[in-house]
Structure 1
């Protein structure tokens, strides 16, 4: 019961510097890989569940009856009305406790208006109920959560739209376009590319730039040039560096970025086999631009046709997106730790395992600063559409 099982890696690429093997929680591995034809999970009352999901949520909801409690705080009762993101996170978590709870977990959902006061009160209720893990899905300040939880040492997963390492027992649980660009660049490096140019979008935040630089350095990538896309040509000394560039990292795909990419090509700065790496910030409309054909994108999300995506569609009659996978993985993480390490297995030390975890949104692990790193599938733009080039690795 307390052992951790290894997960096979057949057919999965290695990122640069990645160890050949890693131990992952066996239960989380079961979230992925099953074909839709092999699935017979989820309640038969899919239509009823769908109607229930579309109704206005109650302030407090409880699912499962296991002794280990997981808490989820949402902003589904916001004055502006619930967002699809909040609903997807909530529904993914409910699905996971039904499928993976195994009589050991219960999920207490606190639906709030997103205000600091209601979040603090929700945290207090979760503390009073002895929650072992708490996730905050809403775009709200979480500074009062520790106060509300009576300073209990309970890990907190933060699903804010700006992933940053927070430390102090709090962990970021989302991956954004900066993470996407970093993982895409590491894929290019693993494919043998060495001379990188990084085109920065206008107005990139200092914190994002720092994360980008730190992430690239962590993969041993030292760009020949990192510059604002609108000024990539630079002065004579800058242009002198632009020789045999074999990888271009473009976080955005706006006019400035596309124009700079075209200039690099026209001026003969790119090697014949240069790889263009984008990010999750690229819009669907940008895929049709001829300048971006054959570009590579490293995108996070649930594996199409997996057990989780099939079960989600069966229950809620809509496709599971990345937010639904986040919700599912909150509970899957708790279920895996309890299954392998017992009821006391959910703690900061366990979450910091360098081996990482495998969930619906591929493999993930937490870094020392509380930030999250996630593997992603690599797609190539072919005829204006995404074509899967390499599935997301199932380990680190």
Structure 2
């Protein structure tokens, strides 16, 4: 008869099941697949033998997300990772809450956070806060704002107003424009009337519309040599250094180069460069693996997610706040002709993070 298990080496707990709800087909499938691949990489690199991942396809739809969440929970998941879009997170959260299960979503829309929902996504409000506080600390206090008429524009403008109110700054002028930039010329001309009173211009735009708007600013005498342009992580684009109007501009984002180790490992594993947000999938599974070491009970203990020291992710330090959003250690970055230059590094711990 074989000997029984040694009292000093108890058998490991049964597998701890975690749902992974992503758009693997339909809307957002490309990013969903990147998140899935990154999650798989984390499972192999740091996954506990106790962790069992249950991937389910949301098809990029709220109904699909709800059904995928129900399926994962029916199969024994005690934590849900994902889904991606705000509407999906809302639908999944309703299902997860009904069974007392926490959800770690990938959305950046803070309106769906809280009550058991934790968001890993980079919120624009946090990026605005970091950059504006940096400016205020350097006596850059008189702001103008050129903001798209969109939900994103509303959120970033509200964050700007909040930071200026709390930090002693002034919002001198605000102009809004259509989200496609079709009336940007009019908005810039209007804003130019206040240019003489501005120390900074808040411009939370990115991509093609930013490239359309930026040359208009000096054309209408909003001089980047006199007025500091301040934006968000949408400016994480080395090509912006080729736009003369953007040189010297500030924004907040992850420490440049911080994710290079993850990117290299992803490329070796899958033969392609990961999507910029793929690291969220890796971080979610790495965090789940850490919790799984404590068994099912640890997954049910939401206090574990609120560790004030935070966690080290692919893009640096992060921690969940009581409202369900993620606070991140962000750097302040300046756009220069030869690329992006860190002018205020990301904190190495939340003890030293700027408040």
The aligned counterpart of 1:71 is 19
Higher relative helix content:
2
**1:276 and 2:229 equivalent?**
yes
Q: Which residue of 1 aligns with 2:29?
A: 83
Partner of 1:201 in structure 2? 147
1:225 is the counterpart of 2:172: yes
* Unpaired runs of at least 5, structure 2: 1-12, 176-186, 351-355
In angstroms, what is the RMSD of aligned CA positions?
3.3
Give the counterpart of 1:103 among 23, 31, 49.
49
Shift of 1:95: 0.9
1:152 aligns with 2:152: no
Query: 2:278 is paired with a residue of what secondary structure?
Result: helix
Q: Secondary structure of the residue that 2:149 maps to in structure 1?
A: coil
Q: Is the 8 A contact 2:266 2:273 kept in 1?
A: yes
Q: Is 2:96–2:102's contact at 8 Å kept on the other side of the alignment?
A: no
Structure 2 counterpart of 1:169 = 116
Deviates more, 1:220-229 or 1:300-309: 300-309
Is the Cα–Cα contact under 8 Å of residues 164 and 172 in structure 1 kept in the other structure?
no
C-alpha distance 85-239 of structure 1, shift in aligned 2 (>3 A): closer
Listed as ranges, the gaps of 5+ residues in structure 1 are: 1-64
Give the C-alpha shift of residue 258 in structure 1.
5.2
1:69 and 1:133 in contact (8 A); partners too: yes
Q: Distance in 2 between matches of 1:387 and 1:368?
A: 33
Q: CA deviation at 1:329?
A: 0.7
Alpha-carbon contact 1:71-1:126 (below 8 Å) kept: yes
Which residue does the alignment assign to 2:328? 374
Contact 1:375 1:394 in 2 (8 A): yes
Residue 233 of structure 1: how far off its partner (Å): 4.0
TM-score normalized with structure 2 length:
0.75
CA deviation map 1:168-189 (0-9, x unaligned) = 2112221154543332223334
- CA drift of 1:303 comes to 4.0
Q: Secondary structure at the match of 1:263?
A: coil
3-state SS in 1 of match to 2:202: strand
* Residue-by-residue CA offset, 1:229-271 (whole Å, 9 max, x unaligned): 633345xxx678x26x2x44321235555544663439x9x4x
Distance 1:251 1:280 in 2: 9
Deviation string 1:85-120 (CA, Å, 9 cap, x unpaired) is: 111111111111111113131211112323344322
> When the two structures are aligned, how many residues end up with a matched partner?
316
CA separation of 1:224 and 1:367: change in aligned 2, threshold 3 A? same
Q: How does 1:167-316 map to 2 (within 5 A)?
A: 167-190=114-137, 192-205=138-151, 206-214=154-162, 220=167, 222-228=169-175, 230=188, 231-234=190-193, 242=197, 245=199, 247-252=200-205, 253-256=210-213, 259-260=216-217, 263-265=221-223, 270=226, 275-282=228-235, 286-300=240-254, 303-304=257-258, 306-316=260-270
SS of equivalent to 2:221: helix
Corresponding residue of 2:7:
none
Look up the SS of the partner of 2:130 in the other structure. Answer: helix
C-alpha distance 265-318 of structure 1, shift in aligned 2 (>3 A): same
CA deviation string 1:307-359 (max 9, x = no partner): 433321221122334321100011122223344x6542233333233333221
| Distance (Å, rounded) in 2 between the aligned partners of 1:195 and 1:327 | 38
